[in-house]
Amino acid sequence: MESVDSTELKVEGMTCASCANTITRFLQKNGLSDVFVDFTSGEVRFKGGNEKNLPSIKSGIDELGYHVMDETKIESKKKFIETIEAKFYFSLILTVPIWLPMLFSVPLLHNFYFQLAFATPVFLLGAWYFGKSGIASLKIGAPNMDVLIFIGSSSAFFYSIVQGLLLNNFHNLFFETSSSIITLVILGNLIEQRAVQQTRTAISALIKLQPSSAKLISFFGNEKFEVITEIPTHEIRMGNYLLFNTGDKIAADGMVVWGRGETDESMISGESLPVIKSINENVIGGTTLISGSLKMKVTATGKQTTLSQIIELVKNAQSRKPKLQKLADRITGWFVPVVLVAATLTFMLNYFILQHGTTQSIMNSVAVLVIACPCAMGLATPTAVMVGLGRSARKGILIKGSDTLETLSTIKQIVFDKTGTLTTGDFKIKELKIIVREEEEIKSVIVGLEKFSSHPIAKSLLLELKDISGRIFTDVKEEKGLGVSGKDGQGNLFSIGSSMMNNTSSKENQHNIYVFKNEKLIAWIDLEDDIKEGAAEVIQFFKSKGIKTIMLSGDKEERCASVAKALNIDEYKAEQKPEEKLAFIRNCVSQLPTAMVGDGINDAPALAQSNLGISLSNATQVAIDSAQIILLNGNLNSLIEAFSIGRITLQTIKQNLFWAFFYNVLAIPVAAIGLLSPTIAALSMAFSDVIVVGNSLRLKGRKIS
């Protein structure tokens, strides 16, 4: 976070998309790149920051009317909302007496100085709250929403002073308009901030999973004695030994070295059932030990833990904006100048053409300034995206970019790898045929080479041959889609993999695995694995949505045909090398938007080439890195939820944008012709963005098919 290349700041005081545009323009003018500003969370990220320019950047943001927060102060956002709440109650208490003349004819209530006394503190609060940010935004050429509020409230306030002090006209006073605008807009900001916080509950829940302390085990007397001490989580180091009892939260990633227990991983992977953990099994930081006791050796701490990486990926996902949000941002950037022009034209139309007089012309112009709301348009996409990403995270679906939610709804065909994706990948040896040498020696060669591979078949062979000692090999190489080779102590070259590994012309060419010594076939293996539970349901779901299903595999024709028939898959391709998979995906993408689901090294190029790469949590790291969606629980049924969440999120975004556009197109002309008073206009503006946020929050509970 504090590197010279990438800097992240937490900024308070942003209330709408215009605020984000102001800070973005400021940072870009100061030569910073890859700028991302999220006003809903207060996160600001950019590249190009260093020890020399960071102080001036922070002070510059402060001068714009915002405040760079100390990242360690977790409660800062809560305090910011409480500050807005205090401003609202202060202005409300002073505005109520100015509203009373509209209800009662008591002379005191209509007195100019009485109203001035109550309106002035409210105006000064508004001038500081909106004016500081508005004037700063004008200086950098990026006027924000606060400019409109400041001009509107100032016009009504100073017009009333001119009427009372200079013209002795005490009948055309609009102090209630000035105070109402400020009070109601602050109320809208308060409601909006509270609602936006609700859209971020999933990320907040993930952050809260991290416990504040852990029990450290220290050894003495040649490890005969143990001393347990409680230490803060941030002091945990790699290699430490920790103790956890029933009810404890796991403080870091690690491997069990003693004990047995059950952990609740529902918040991490979406797995609702308890997961049994015993010796040599990995546990995930942030999960809860619901029964038993465990001692574990720490394998990852801080930002390297699974939980921290998930939180970081969810946060980073918001910086990749969907096309709809980019369009909304461009409109918002021009919105304020356009409204200022519209307000000027409104005054000219009312005063010179319609001849409504100075008072009515000014009030209509103020109504236009106040009712215009770029906030709703700016909130339309990010609030829906945050709820969609949060709901996905709770289901064990990790989406790397918010633009991925939009891509999900465009997919017309989906390509599945077979092994480990549609099938379990838990292979069993159906037949081992020894052509040359002894069986135990062949098994030793298999174990010695396959331990260098991350392929699901290799893992299954090692599990089945776990009692066999592997031969020692050097110069080991793994070739994608082919296999593994290495030299033994005598310099003999052994290899294990597909028949294509050594271009064998043997008639024995329909088996799964071949073992070679110095390019001569010495054994072959036939394997069998089962179709994954839920695979048929997933295929049927996509077919029912009109999405074409394709299976792409390096396995033999016979096995691929059997799986494709059992699952009723539209099309399949067998015996595909990585480069052939890549070429096939390129061809698919050129025709229709295509998703690819895979888990192996040989799937990585195809995953990266597809419009949407999807990987499972038990996949190889390179496959995970190449994908845009990771199914943390490894459950294929999560695909249905991922696509459904993407669909309803896009629907919500479109609904929000339609409302925001419709509101502004209708409201501005209505205000311009005098059908709405500035007070009603302020109330309408204050609640227009609340409607957008409320619609986004509906995503939390919407049923998915």
- Residues near 234 by beta carbon (within 8 Å), at least 6 away in sequence: 302
Longest dimension (CA), the chain: 114
Query: DSSP assignment, residue 30?
Result: T
Buried b (16+ CB within 10 A) or exposed e, 190-210: bbbbebbbbbbebbeebeebb
Does residue 417 have an active-site annotation? yes
Integer Rg of the chain from CA: 32
Q: What is the dihedral of CA 448, 452, 455, 456, to 10 degrees?
A: 50
The single-letter DSSP state of residue 234 is G
Distance from C-alpha of 510 to C-alpha of 439, rounded to nearest angstrom: 21
In whole angstroms, what is the distance from residue 175 CA to residue 249 CA? 57
Token pair in block for residue 431: 């037949």
Q: Which helix (H) or strand (E) holds 551?
A: strand 548-552
Alpha helices in 300-322 (DSSP H): 306-317
> How do strand 520-528 and strand 548-552 relate by DSSP bridges?
unpaired
| 41 in Cβ contact with 200 (< 8 Å) | yes
Continuous H helices in 70-111: 76-99, 107-110
Take residue 114 and report the two structure tokens written for it: 């009485």
Side-by-side strand order, sheet with 6-12: 33-38, 43-47, 6-12, 67-69
Integer Cα distance of 542 and 112 in angstroms: 70
* Rounded distance between C-alpha atoms, residue 289 and residue 265, angstroms: 9
Q: CB 429: neighbour CB atoms within 10 A?
A: 17
Write the CB contacts of 623 (distance below 8 Å, at least 6 apart in sequence). Answer: 598, 599, 600, 601, 603, 604, 607, 615
What is the DSSP track for 376-391? HHHHHHHHHHHHHHHH
Q: Which helix (H) or strand (E) holds 429?
A: strand 428-434
Q: Which residues contact 492 (CB under 8 A, 6 or more apart)?
A: 517, 518
Instruction: Answer left, alpha or beta for residue 429, where phi above 0 means left and psi between -120 and 50 means alpha.
Output: beta
**What are the beta bridge partners of residue 260?**
293
- Collapsing DSSP to helix, strand or coil, 601 comes out as helix
Under DSSP, is residue 552 helix (H, G, I), strand (E, B) or coil?
Answer: strand
Q: How far is CA 536 from CA 531, 550, 565, 603, 640, in A?
A: 9, 13, 11, 21, 12
Catalytic residue (choose from 417, 529, 555, 599): 417
DSSP state of 320: S
Cα–Cα dist 275/277, whole Å: 6
| 525: β partners | 432, 513
Alpha carbon distances (Å) from 620 to 103, 269, 456, 617: 72, 17, 9, 8
- Which tokens belong to 303? 């930002």
What Å distances lie between residue 425 and 277, 421, 447, 497, 532, CA to CA?
22, 8, 18, 16, 9
CB 610 within 8 A of CB 596: yes
* Residue showing tokens 């939009």: 406
Alpha-carbon separation of residue 74 from 318, 612, 692 (angstroms): 20, 35, 27
Q: Estimate to the nearest angstrom the gap between the alpha carbon of 272 and the chain centroid.
A: 22
Residues tagged active-site = 417
